[in-house]
């Protein structure tokens, strides 16, 4: 089991108190997505593709998130993402997700990720589907590109 970026994801996770004595930490969407990007890079080398569906789900969650949509229209980084993505909200959300992942995992882990990302892009795009999102192949390439651009935007 890979623990790539676990410390960074854990540090950024939200605490959920179950009782006075018990609290657990739950990663937010960028934390979940970061773990899935790392898992994709490790497992896709062996043609295991389940992480692509999880990445698609994280992209969908971000695009549909009311707080992300507010951020797209009400913050400098959101407006910049919208402009960069020609006002395409799902692509702009994917770009923001990439930026948020990059900020959360830090420069060292980001360099490790970018040295391998996206791996076999055709395999990723072919499997980047959820039951909620059966976008056409070209659209899936656009989302991966926007996510990747976000990862490399400082």
pLDDT at 133: 57
Query: What are the tens digits of pLDDT across the range 2-57?
Result: 677 677 887 888 888 999 999 999 889 999 999 999 999 999 999 999 999 999 99
Is 17 a member of any domain? no
Q: How many domains does the chain have?
A: 1
Is 123 a member of any domain? yes
Contacts (Cβ under 8 Å, ≥6 apart) of 148: 98, 117, 118
Query: What are the tens digits of pLDDT across the range 53-83?
Result: 999 999 999 999 999 999 999 999 999 999 9
Query: What are the tens digits of pLDDT across the range 85-105?
Result: 999 999 999 999 999 999 999
Q: Cα–Cα–Cα angle for 124, 32, 10, nearest 5°?
A: 140
Is 13 a member of any domain? no
Helices (H), the chain: 6-12, 29-43, 50-64, 66-74, 76-84, 89-114, 121-127, 137-152
State which residues form the domain around 70: 28-152
Give the integer Cα–Cα distance in Å for 68 and 93: 7
């Amino acid at each position: 089991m890979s623990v790539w970026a676990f410390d960074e994801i854990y540090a950024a996770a939200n605490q959920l108190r179950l009782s006075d004595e018990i609290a657990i930490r739950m990663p937010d969407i960028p934390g979940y997505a970061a773990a899935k990007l790392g898992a994709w890079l490790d497992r896709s080398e062996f043609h295991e593709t389940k992480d692509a569906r999880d990445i698609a789900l994280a992209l969908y969650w971000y695009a549909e998130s009311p707080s992300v949509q507010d951020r797209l229209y009400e913050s400098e980084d959101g407006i910049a993402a919208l402009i960069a993505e020609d006002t395409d909200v799902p692509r702009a959300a994917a770009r923001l997700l990439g930026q948020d992942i990059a900020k959360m995992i830090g420069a060292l882990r980001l360099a490790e990720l970018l040295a391998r990302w996206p791996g076999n892009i055709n395999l990723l795009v072919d499997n980047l589907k959820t039951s909620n999102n059966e976008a056409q192949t070209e659209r899936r390439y656009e989302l991966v590109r926007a996510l990747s651009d976000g990862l490399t935007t400082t």
